[in-house]
Structures are given as C-alpha cells and as structure tokens.
Amino acid sequence: MKHILVTGGAGFIGSNFIHYMIQHHPEYRITNLDKLTYAGNLENLRDIEAHPTYTFVQGDICDAALVEKLMQPADAVVHFAAETHVDRSIMDAGSFITTDVYGTFVLLEAARKYPIERFIQISTDEVYGTAMSPEGVSRPSLETDALMPLSPYAASKSGADRLAFSYWATHKLPVIITRCSNNYGPYQYPEKLIPLFVTNALDNIPMPVYGDGQNTRDWIYVEEHCAAVDLLLHSSGYDGEIFNIGANREYSVLQISDLILDILGKPKSLIRFVQDRPGHVPRHAVDTAKLRRCFNWSASVDFHAMLEKTVQWYREHETWWRRIKEQDAGYKQYYQQQYQ
C-alpha cells in the first residue's frame, strides 16, 4: 500500500487533490498535515473525514519533530501547504517567508532523513513573473526561463522551488517541481478572484477589478491540475525535473468578470475598477509542451463549461462561503483593508 503525505490538504487545491486520490487510488493511505490557517477549512473534507484510509493531522510544516514523525511511514510527499494570497503578501510578507520557504526546508530535511520515492514540490507560474522571452517578447513561460517573481508571495515560492531543486541536486532527493497556472473550482477561499467575484455578484456587491482589468491569466480547472500531479507522482525517471501545468486558456480579469455576470444574469454595472495592485503581473501563461511530450497529457476540459459548473457549485454551497465571508474576522478585516 502506498502512503502519501499531503501538506495543506485542507486548502483549495489540497482538498480537491485528496478527493481525487481517494476516488482514483482508494487503496492508498493519505495523511493530511495542515495547520488550519484562515485558508484551511475542514468543511472541504467533511464527506471523507471518516474514510478508513484518510488521516488528518493538525500541525505546522515548520514543526520539525512532527514532520519527521509523519515522514517516517510515508512513501511520497505532495507539498501544497503555503501562504498563497498575493495581496496578503503585499500587506505582510513574514508568514510567507516562514511557511513557504522555511516550512519547505523542514519537509525536505525530513524527507532526506526518512527516504521517500517522490517529493512533489507544488510551485507556481508566479515564479516566472511576467510571461516573456529573454528578449522581452510576450510568450508563455518555459521551464527553462529565469525566475523573476514580482510579489513577496511569488518570491517566497521561488525560494521554496529552488530549495527543493537543490535537495535533488545535492542529496538526490527524488523531487519534481510543478509550476501550475491559476486554478478554479470548488472550495476556493473567497478572497481569490473567481469565488470572490461569483459570491459578490450573487449578493449584488461590486466586483473589484484591479486597474483596467486587462491583466491575463491562464485558467485550469482544479481537477485537471490534480490529475497532472497524480501523473507526476507516479512517474519514474524525472527526478529534479520541472513541469509547467496549465490549460492554454488565457482570459483577462475583465473577460472573467463578464463571463461570470453573464452566467449569473447580473448587470455589468457590478464591475468596479479599483486601484491596481502594486507589482501586478500583466500576463501569466505557461508553455505546457514538456508535459505533453513526456506524458502525452494536456488539459482538455472546456473552460466555459467548467466555469459554469464552478459558479453553480458556489450557488449551491452558499452556507460554505457565507460562513467565511460573514463570520471570519480575518476575511472581513482583509476585505475592508483591501477594497474600502
């Protein structure tokens, strides 16, 4: 039996990944180590909390003793845990450095001590900064491009990304680094763009669009990201490699806003332009040819269909997001500071 240590499994992608693994590998044991920060939510895992192969451990990836204890029986690690919100990293970067960089170091050290078959470092396309060639021509980022992170979040993830690589280069730890584009789907904390816009629009509250709304991102449905991670988790022969993961579907913030309003049948007057984010990256996009070449895998679901499905999920799970938006003091304080 395989035993996977998942970090950050109570967050958005981590909880989708655990659902994915239980569905696709019901014989695997999954241990979920999560600190339950404001972004971690056990509601995301309510339906599987009593599943016989699943164990939840509340704890910090910076806690070396705990991490070592959990690493011992594990065959592989999928490391999602991080502080993840760009805007919060602009307000206060300290926790990003601690969790994203130091926490990754603690995990890598434990994995060195108690050998594992695979360590998946979930990095991000944010590490590239603006998607462009070395000559400055706009194009999707390649795995070989320089890392030019523009936010403290992206810089802390770059530190973790390179640290993970160094543990392969130095200690031959079987690391694979993934750099995925923007995810959307169920269980995403409603400070992030799509759930924020959907839930605001449902309440007829303005959708805050930074600058002129022309910044573009590639959008991948979270389940497709999970499928790609699963593929890499089971790969052999790619130690030390980096893989971009994306859907090759780029949309500007304004296009996303329009689509959401159309799906919900709400007026365009709900769009409210607000002061641009400092260091805002105009374009994130990743070239996914390497993943296609090595594994014959590419994202395939239809963006519009999945966006509609996602909007529908938030419609049907109002209690889930309303509790966060109305009862979570951290959310309210952040929202007021950011947009009022």
Alpha-carbon gap, residue 205 to 80, rounded angstroms: 31
Report the alpha-carbon distance of residue 259 to residue 250 in Å, rounded: 13
Instruction: Check binding of 285 to ligand NAD (CB under 6 A).
Output: no
Look up 125 and say whether it is catalytic. Answer: yes
Q: Can you point out the beta strands (E) in 151-252?
A: 175-180, 182-184, 207-210, 216-221, 241-245, 250-252
In this structure, are residues 205 and 264 in contact, taking their beta carbons and an 8 Å threshold? no
Q: Which residue in 205, 196, 227, 229 sits closest to 310, CA to CA?
A: 196
Specify the stretch interacting with ligand NAD by CB under 6 A; choose among 27-35, 162-170, 198-206, 229-237.
Answer: 27-35
CB-nearer residue toward ligand NAD: 97 or 202: 97
- Helix, strand, coil percentages for the chain (3-state, nearest 5): 45, 20, 35
* Tokens describing residue 19: 């659902």
Question: Cα(82)–Cα(8) distance, rounded to whole angstroms?
Answer: 7
CB atoms within 10 A of CB 21: 24
Options 104, 183, 215, 244; binder of ligand NAD; rule CB under 6 A = 183
Coil, strand or helix at 187: coil
Q: Contacting ligand NAD (CB under 6 A), which of 5, 6, 8, 209?
A: 8
In the complex, what is the shortest distance from the CB of residue 135 to ligand NAD, in angstroms, rounded to a whole number?
Answer: 26
**Binding to ligand NAD by residue 124, rule CB under 6 A?**
yes
In the complex, the smallest distance separating the C-beta of residue 124 from ligand NAD, rounded to whole angstroms, is: 4
Instruction: Write down the least CB distance from residue 327 to ligand NAD, Å.
Output: 17
Which residue out of 34, 60, 126, 287 is catalytically annotated? 126
- Nearest-approach distance from CB 188 to ligand NAD, in angstroms: 7
Query: Tokens standing for 170?
Result: 């130095």
Window 55 to 114, contacts with ligand NAD (CB under 6 A): 60-62, 80-84, 99, 103
Among 5, 101, 110, 122, binds ligand NAD (CB under 6 A): 122
Q: Which of 112, 230, 86 is nearest to 164 (CA)?
A: 112
Between CA 223 and CA 79 the distance in angstroms is 17
- Binding segment for ligand NAD among 142-150, 180-188, 196-204, 246-254 (CB under 6 A)? 180-188
Q: Which of 60, 83, 100, 125 is catalytic?
A: 125
Does position 331 bind ligand NAD by CB under 6 A? no
Instruction: Report the residue closest to ligand NAD, judged by CB.
Output: 11
Q: Is 126 a catalytic residue?
A: yes
**Contact between 174 and ligand NAD per CB under 6 A:** no
Binding site for ligand NAD (CB under 6 A): 7-8, 10-14, 33-37, 39-40, 60-62, 80-84, 99, 103, 122, 124, 157, 180, 182-183, 189
Active site residues: 125-126, 153
